Amino acid sequence: MTFLIIGQDTQAKDDKISALKKKYLPKRESHEFDFEVLHAHKLDSDQLKQSLIALPAIAGHRLVVIRTADKLSAHNKELVLEQVGQKDTQTVLVLEADQMDGKTSFYKKLSKAAEVTRVHSEAKGNVFDITNAMERRDTTGALKMLTQAIDDGQHPLQIMGVLVWFWGKMKPRVKDEAFKKGLLELQEADLNIKRSRIRSDYAVEIAVTKLCSLISY
């Protein structure tokens, strides 16, 4: 049995994994011996092989979770697909990822055999609440919603993506000079975050404040 869980809502993904753990490993003592979490970005192929073929010690199944499965190496993807293609296996495989390109052969093959669950974060609504406040030039409200969105788990770079979209939408409503200044502010915030010049949340706060000041009707 294989499960693929995709989305940026960490809590929702963890809840799904916990439910599978409760279903396949009902006895608490099996959690120590028959449950394993692997991280794709640093996963050795030999370790993956061993984890996939190991037999359960206590429960009727082993539950193997691969985090950030979209970062699996090409060879490890092949190993996963081999495992997924096997029948009567005692390994329950769970692959978790924030996102996965649906056009790749890996996803297409995997999704045919796996139960796919996509989770959606309610916090995303907060991001668009920010832009709605900005459009009203409600800087205080926008900053308050920004803080809430970050507290809810939204990464500053995700918020930056929405701000870039929003500023493009505002082009007809701001003066050309102001629009260009806004683009420069967004570029500066993006560089500040990626190069760790200042705290990422503070960089977004500055961008929101400056964009609000540039909006005119």
For 106-117, write each residue's pLDDT tens digit: 999 998 889 999
Please indicate, yes or no, whether residues 156 and 106 belong to a single structural domain of this protein.
Answer: no
Please indicate, yes or no, whether residues 7 and 94 belong to a single structural domain of this protein.
Answer: yes
**Residue 170: which of 139, 137, 140, 148 has the closest Cα?**
137
Position 123 scores a pLDDT of 47
Please indicate, yes or no, whether residues 98 and 173 belong to a single structural domain of this protein.
Answer: no
Domain holding 166, by residue range, is: 124-214
Rg (CA), the chain: 22
Domain boundary among 71, 96, 118: 118
Q: How far apart are CA 189 and CA 205, in angstroms?
A: 9
Please indicate, yes or no, whether residues 51 and 74 belong to a single structural domain of this protein.
Answer: yes
Domain boundary among 100, 118, 136: 118
pLDDT tens by residue, 3-53:
999 987 788 889 999 999 999 999 888 898 999 999 998 899 999 999 999
Please indicate, yes or no, whether residues 32 and 71 belong to a single structural domain of this protein.
Answer: yes
* pLDDT > 70: percent of the chain: 96
* pLDDT > 90: percent of the chain: 55
Task: Answer whether 91's CB lies under 8 Å from 80's CB.
Answer: no
Total number of domains constituting the chain? 2
Task: State the distance between the two ends of the chain, measured CA to CA, in whole angstroms.
Answer: 57
Q: Is the pLDDT of residue 76 over 90?
A: yes
Q: Is the pLDDT of residue 121 over 60?
A: no
Position 125 scores a pLDDT of 53
Task: Answer whether 2's CB lies under 8 Å from 113's CB.
Answer: yes
As a whole number, mean pLDDT of residues 179-195 equals 93
Please indicate, yes or no, whether residues 197 and 98 belong to a single structural domain of this protein.
Answer: no
As a whole number, mean pLDDT of residues 63-88 equals 90
Domain boundary among 118, 141, 159: 118
Listed range (8-17, 64-73, 120-129, 131-140) with the worst mean pLDDT: 120-129
Average pLDDT, the chain: 89
As a whole number, mean pLDDT of residues 180-200 equals 91
Please indicate, yes or no, whether residues 76 and 147 belong to a single structural domain of this protein.
Answer: no
